[in-house]
Amino acid sequence: MDHFLYKNGVLHAEDVAIPEIAAAVGTPFYVYSRATLVRHFRLFDEALKGMDHLVCYAMKAASNVALLKVLAQEGAGMDVVSGGEYARAKAAGVPGERIVFSGVGKTREEMRMALTGGIRQFNVESEPEMDVLNEVALSLGVVAPITVRVNPNVDAKTHAKIATGKSENKFGIPIAKARDVYARAAALPGLKVVGIDVHIGSQLTDLEPFRMAYRKVAELTELLRADGHEISRLDLGGGLGIPYTRSNEAPPLPLDWGQVIREEVGHLGCQVEIEPGRLIAGNAGLLVSQVIYVKEGEGRRFLILDAAMNDLVRPAMYDAHHDIVPVMEPAPGVEEAPMDVVGPVCESGDTFAKGRDLPPVAAEDLVAFRSAGAYGAVMASEYNTRPLIPEVLVDGDHFAVIRARPSFDEMIKRDTIPEWL
Ligand code: LLP
């Protein structure tokens, strides 16, 4: 459930009419609903109620500092994957002890930043990384808390570009090697092993792969404990999928996922961390765009929008489906017709949907892409010198611009012409 509904025939974000925001900030723009973000976060928090747990929002999904602050106020931790994300989390007021650092390529500088600013744990992904982190920690005179991310070799049954739990993926260490790797970690004085980490992929709509991965993690926990390691924390990753269509999709809910977690690892007495991103932010955001032209092609009709692949890359990159709806509610029973929904960027990949059945739309109408709150704004680029579009946060009957659209001057000023030119 989200808070983007038609009221009196006009699409609203909570109690604010979308056209009102469009008039204030121009199009295209992203708009988020605070109530939806909070609701989604609480679903996870409640799913693990009774267990010692921390929900670390995977902020790669949507990382505007205002959104982070909404979640931080709910008690969320953060899963960060770069120095930039770490800095954002801190800027949103998240204490270091609620930040976990994931990613296969952490640099010395990023390690230093987190060790001095405070960190709950590093999820270490390789032996070379372990050595470097050990060195950096010793040079600072501190001990780095770590989990090792294991690759359970489980098929997540999701899009190949976002599956991470098979041995052919670059993530984690093979679970079969885990005992050796933990023995090495325990011998490094700059590291303190605190647990195990696993994440098998994103947009998972079946709980079985989670169950298989967590079962392997539970077995490994027993083995490592028998080897004398203190395994007090399990980071079970993120990846729970969301419905991208309004029709018949009903992926498992956070509560169902929580049940799998209880069943598979509940007996171990570990503190549990999870890293959901998409489910918290995805359906908490829309991309709103204006129709520039309706163009009649040969046997096709093109809806040319002012949003493009640089603003929302998921359709071009993963053939992802986003529902597209008119902001003015179509009359009941109105006839739909197939359209190719495209942006103005000069390549055919700049296509949001092909042959999508849509109610009649005309130039200057507003349309909204649903489920665009996660991996939307964060993956945007300035391709074609199109400015990064504004982000807006709605809370009840008011809204605020949480990132303004830069002017062309501001964009161009970031380039410098060398003196000798
Ligand atoms: N933890 C780790 C270590 C991750 O790599 C990810 C996502 C998450 C948590 C959060 O997963 P989520 O709950 O959001 O599924 N750009 C792609 C998605 C990439 C996901 C990468 N890792 C997309 O637009 O579909």
52 phi/psi in degrees, rounded to 5: -70, 115
Could you tell me the distance, in angstroms and rounded to a whole number, from the CA of residue 237 to the centre of ligand 1? Answer: 9
Q: Where in the chain is the domain with CATH 2.40.37.10?
A: 4-31+282-412
Ligand 1 atom closest to the Cα of residue 239 is 15
Average pLDDT over residues 163-173: 81
Q: Where residue 248 falls among pLDDT bands split at 50, 70, 90?
A: low
Residue owning the nearest CA to atom 12 of ligand 1? 239
Q: What is the residue-averaged pLDDT of the chain?
A: 96
Q: Is the pLDDT of residue 201 over 90?
A: yes
Average pLDDT over residues 311-320: 97
Residue owning the nearest CA to atom 7 of ligand 1? 202
The length of the chain, given as a count of residues: 421
Residues 33, 87: Cα–Cα separation, whole Å:
24
Which of 278, 309, 322 to probe ligand 1 with, by most ligand atoms within 8 A of CB? 278
pTM of the model: 0.97
Q: Which residues face 192 on adjacent strands?
A: 145
Q: Which residues face 77 on adjacent strands?
A: 56
Q: Kind of pairing, strands 29-33 and 285-296?
A: antiparallel
> Domain 34-280 belongs to what topology?
TIM Barrel (3.20.20)
Start-to-end CA distance of the chain, whole Å, equals: 56
Q: What is the pLDDT of residue 121?
A: 98
Could you tell me the distance, in angstroms and rounded to a whole number, from the CA of residue 58 to the centre of ligand 1? Answer: 7
Residue owning the nearest CA to atom 6 of ligand 1? 238
Q: So which residues are the catalytic ones?
A: 346
Q: What is the dihedral of CA 198, 202, 206, 208, to 10 degrees?
A: -20
Here the tokens at position 375 are 């991996």
Q: Is the pLDDT of residue 165 over 80?
A: no
Q: Which residues face 366 on adjacent strands?
A: 290
Average pLDDT over residues 234-253: 90
Could you tell me the distance, in angstroms and rounded to a whole number, from the CA of residue 223 to the centre of ligand 1? Answer: 29
Q: Is the pLDDT of residue 1 over 80?
A: no
Ligand 1 atom closest to the Cα of residue 276 is 13
Which of 202, 280, 312, 322 to probe ligand 1 with, by most ligand atoms within 8 A of CB? 202
Residues 14, 329: Cα–Cα separation, whole Å:
16
Q: Where in the chain is the domain with CATH 3.20.20.10?
A: 34-280
Could you tell me the distance, in angstroms and rounded to a whole number, from the CA of residue 152 to the centre of ligand 1? Answer: 17
Could you tell me the distance, in angstroms and rounded to a whole number, from the CA of residue 240 to the centre of ligand 1? Answer: 9
Q: Give tens-digit pLDDT for 72-95.
A: 999 999 999 999 999 999 999 999
228 phi/psi in degrees, rounded to 5: 100, 10
Q: Give tens-digit pLDDT for 329-383.
A: 999 999 999 999 999 999 999 999 999 999 999 999 999 999 999 999 999 999 9
Q: Exposed/middle/buried for 327, CB within 10 Å: 0-12, 13-18, 19+?
A: buried
Q: What is the pLDDT of residue 120?
A: 98
Ligand 1 pocket (Cβ < 6 Å) reads 58, 61, 79, 102, 162, 199, 202-203, 237-240, 275-279, 314, 318, 375
Q: Where residue 166 falls among pLDDT bands split at 50, 70, 90?
A: confident
Domain 4-31+282-412: assigned CATH number: 2.40.37.10
Q: What is the pLDDT of residue 338?
A: 97
CB atoms within 10 A of CB 407: 10
Could you tell me the distance, in angstroms and rounded to a whole number, from the CA of residue 358 to the centre of ligand 1? Answer: 30
Here the tokens at position 112 are 């230093």
Which of 40, 44, 60, 171 to probe ligand 1 with, by most ligand atoms within 8 A of CB? 60
Average pLDDT over residues 191-220: 97
Q: What is the pLDDT of residue 119?
A: 98
Ligand 1 atom closest to the Cα of residue 279 is 13
Ligand 1 atom closest to the Cα of residue 278 is 14
Ligand 1 atom closest to the Cα of residue 102 is 3
Average pLDDT over residues 220-232: 98
Strand, coil or helix: what is 213? helix
Task: Give the residue among 275, 191, 272 at the shortest CA–CA distance from 234.
Answer: 272
Q: What is the pLDDT of residue 305?
A: 98
